[in-house]
Amino acid sequence: MASKSMAQNNFKALVVWLILNGRTEEALALLSKNYRVNLPNLEVGLPKGRKIKAYGCYTAKNETISVRNSDVLMNPFVIIHEFYHHLRSKAVDRMHRGTEKNADKFASSFLQEYQEAVKNVQNIT
Ligand SMILES: [Zn+2]
């Protein structure tokens, strides 16, 4: 990322890139700053009573994104999906908000921008 404006233009791509490279904490810091929300906690291991099938979940009460295992820390779709719940549950009542469909759409928009950025780089080189 050469300049500030370039980083801003590629914000979503950068977030995905960071997660793919295991820099998930940095990605969450960037997301929180961009959307002006608290930095969510991140933990490996799902809270008890969760469906084993889930890759991740968000607990609004303690603003924590939990992932099933450390592999999922590098899964941009899951991390961004759970961040969406964080984004939607901020403020007053700390309820879990935002539909699954919208969370998926939010995450997809990041992955799409990343894929486009990769394509552009391939066209240059
Ligand atoms: Zn969800």
What are 57-100's pLDDT values in tens digits? 999 889 999 999 999 999 999 999 999 999 988 654 556 666 89
Report angle CA 87, 42, 91 to the nearest 5 degrees: 30
**Per-residue pLDDT at 91:** 54
Q: What spacing in Å lies between the alpha carbon of 81 and ligand 1's midpoint?
A: 6
CA distances from residue 64 to 60, 103, 118 in whole angstroms, order as listed: 7, 16, 31
**How much distance in Å is there from the Cα of 120 to the middle of ligand 1?**
31
How many angstroms separate the alpha carbon of residue 101 from the centre of ligand 1? Answer: 8
Q: Specify the pTM.
A: 0.85
Query: What separation in Å is there between the alpha carbon of 86 and the centre of ligand 1?
Result: 10
The backbone torsions φ and ψ at residue 88, rounded to the nearest 5 degrees and listed phi first, read -85, -15
The one-letter code for the residue type at 60 is: A
